[in-house]
Structure 1
Amino acid sequence: MARTARRLRTTRPIPRRTLLLGSAVAAVGAGTAACSRVTSGNSLDRLRSQGTVRLGIAGEVPYGYVDEQGEFTGEAPELAKVIFKRLGIGRVQPVATDFASLIPGLNSQQFDIVSAGMYINKERCEQVIFSDPEYQMLDSFVVRKGNPLNVRSYEDAVRAKARFATATGYAQLDYAVAAGYPEKDVVILQDQVAGLNAVESGRVDVFAATALTARLVVEKSRRAEATAPFSAVVDGEKKIDGGGFAFRPTDHDLRDAFNAEIHKMKKSGELFRIMRRFGFTQAEMTTLTAEELCR
């Protein structure tokens, strides 16, 4: 997961309430981790007995985050609240961490599940098991108004010699490198808000993100816009990514029960009703499976 890219510092203040919540949650997660290491053969039964499931989140809108009112929300946490209640687990507890620490934190039992809309790919599938994805996603760039460099793909950005940025843990770094960017030349920022600030100020020309992240972050900007969604091309093939929940490799029973509920929600339309509150469109609903994405 580690990347060797240079970082552009940001000074965006984090609301005190968010900081306090993240610290408190992390402390609780650390305190309860020792208990969870004593596991039964059936992780679903264990969590039902505990009455609480701990969700790893990474503070990315709209996937999993703490809002300005200090409330724990996002498409993945809201789905988790519904599904785990139906599975007999009444309480979900957020554990805040940075994106790159989600899989290590899951496997070291700091939390029970990654609830962050994480892209499912071959590298991650070697470390965890995934639910089937709740969404599929293309990419987009945040650029200055009018898109002065006319960049609409990673290849365009390489040809234009655009100063290129993305965020910690984003798959877009790999896509930029596949298109020809030296990894050392990609600026790694904290999140999409830092990316917007960098584009607006002229420090970078392009910030790469998911299409949904890009269109949400520029909604109120007067100086930046999002490009039309596009597919990254890797080894000559167009990529369509999908995001899902990650589970420890031993927790097949928990993953399978969760998957069953996801499929019921897809069939009934309930999944989309939850997802569209966070900016997802019908075009971003998917029938892809984790098995397909892991390949």
Structure 2
Amino acid sequence: MGSPEGFAPGVIGQLERAMYGLKDAPRLYGKHFKRIAAEEGWEEIVESIFVLKDEEKKVKAVMAVHVDDLLIFSADSARDFEPLRQRLKMDEPEILSTGGEMGYMGLEVRKNESGFEISQEVYLKSIPVQTDDLPRKSLSPEMLNEEKEEEKEEDLVAVMMKVMGVLGWVCQTSADLTFVFSELSCYSSPPTGSKLVAALLALIRAREKNDSLRFEGVIDPKLALFVDAVYSLSRCEGRGGFEAYLVDKKEKIEGMRRTNLVVWKSKRIKRKLISSTSAELCALVDGVKQSFQ
């Protein structure tokens, strides 16, 4: 970033209010960044995801923003990023070549001959919890159900918040844990002992599976959407989830590559339901809507 307006080398000034460190700093920086990005042709299509289009209005570059870290995917990322870099007076970008790896906020981004891979292998290995330390050895549906007879413990709130924070970040590359995370979030304040154990077992499962997101080029793209839902008879409510993959139109669902998972979500269905079928229909409608947003 350049010097604020009114400042120059050799000039002494008095600061009345500094943006850095204040609660509104991220908002002000984000507003400034988005304005400059828009002036340089970048369009924000969803929160923190920008695209740059060519003269034919086709997307030629994608930029993901996390605070002040930028990830740019393009045939010539240095060229496409240069105007924005000059405006914001940023350092030279780090170019990821084939076979290379880059660390990013607990993630590892690798580039191979077919595309990119994003994993959390190092982050997952740093989690110190072991199955032998816990009274239960595997996750079960009963652990996710609300146990009214079990005492809720205020002393576990701080621990549960920390564990859920880690689990939420792990869900960035582990789509199958999104349901568990969403369900446990409903009972985390104050939590019960079994809910804390379930969250820890979910982290152990993620570490053992070590899932990664793989992205490959698609010539003639289509969205392949998968939805599912569960229904609780005692609560008369359901939870739906969906996964959307970007694949070639010629690919058949039964032989589809499980790469290019572009969006997934699990959330409670906010309406009274009478059966698992109604929950699945709600999940299907919501999945179609959100996969095209």
Q: TM-score, normalised by structure 2?
A: 0.29
- Which structure exhibits the higher relative contact order, with contacts defined as CA atoms closer than 8 Å and separated by 6 or more residues? 1
Counting helix residues as a fraction of each chain, which structure ranks higher?
Answer: 1
Higher strand share: 2
Instruction: Report the structure number with the largest CA radius of gyration.
Output: 2
